[in-house]
């Protein structure tokens, strides 16, 4: 699961963010405890705690003393807004700038996007269905008595 590209605590936080965005973790849903997460992934609990604390600092998770960590009600909306803004900055703005350099009209760029997204012949561009993914939710707290994978 973990790679060498970035620190493990960041990868954990990114996984939980992704679970929030996809709906695999919903508002006020409890995530695995630090110790459960550490045992499941065979990593140091301090590493998990660092990830969780970062998510608390970002306002995505909150603590209920003696109970655990939970997803903030507005976490998904907040993450989606941040990702949309980053998408525009990282992808749309460079396309617009290149179109201007090439003398391509904005309407032509929009028409090209519509043609790409409406083409039934392009399964590579098919949008995933809305809602939770079918991937296992490793950040969710396992139910009592449930077998772990």
pLDDT digits (tens, 9 = 90+) for 39-85: 998 999 999 999 999 999 999 999 999 899 999 999 999 999 999 99
- Tokens representing 23 are 């709906």
Whether residue 65 is found in the same domain as residue 119 = no
- Cα distances (Å, whole numbers) of residue 5 to 9, 43, 47, 69: 12, 17, 16, 27
DSSP state of 51: H
Does residue 65 fall inside a structural domain?
yes
Q: Would the pTM count as exceeding 0.75?
A: no
Which of these, 146, 145, 128, lies nearest to 23 by C-alpha position? 128
Q: How many Cα atoms within 13 Å fall on the side-chain side of residue 88?
A: 5
Whether residue 12 is found in the same domain as residue 65 = yes
> What is the total residue count of the chain?
149
pLDDT at 142: 43
Whether residue 68 is found in the same domain as residue 96 = no
Does residue 20 fall inside a structural domain?
yes
Does residue 91 fall inside a structural domain?
yes
Domain range for 100 is 87-125
What CATH code is carried by the domain that includes residue 69? 1.10.10.10
Q: How many domains does the chain have?
A: 2
pLDDT at 10: 94
Whether residue 18 is found in the same domain as residue 52 = yes
Which of these, 32, 13, 4, lies nearest to 140 by C-alpha position? 32
Dist CA 35 CA 46 (whole Å):
9
């Amino acid at each position: 699961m973990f790679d060498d590209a970035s620190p493990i605590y960041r990868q954990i936080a990114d996984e939980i963010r992704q679970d929030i965005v996809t709906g695999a973790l919903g508002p006020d849903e409890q995530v695995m405890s630090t110790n459960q997460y550490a045992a499941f992934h065979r990593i140091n609990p301090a590493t998990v705690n660092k990830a969780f604390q970062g998510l608390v600092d970002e306002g995505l998770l909150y603590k209920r003393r003696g109970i655990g960590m939970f997803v903030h009600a507005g976490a998904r909306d907040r993450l989606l807004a941040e990702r949309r803004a980053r998408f525009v900055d990282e992808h749309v703005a460079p396309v617009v700038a290149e179109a201007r350099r090439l003398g391509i009209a904005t309407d032509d760029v929009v028409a090209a996007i519509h043609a790409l997204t409406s083409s039934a012949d392009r399964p590579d561009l098919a949008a995933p269905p809305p809602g939770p993914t079918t991937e296992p939710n490793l950040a969710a707290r396992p139910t009592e008595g449930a077998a772990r994978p």
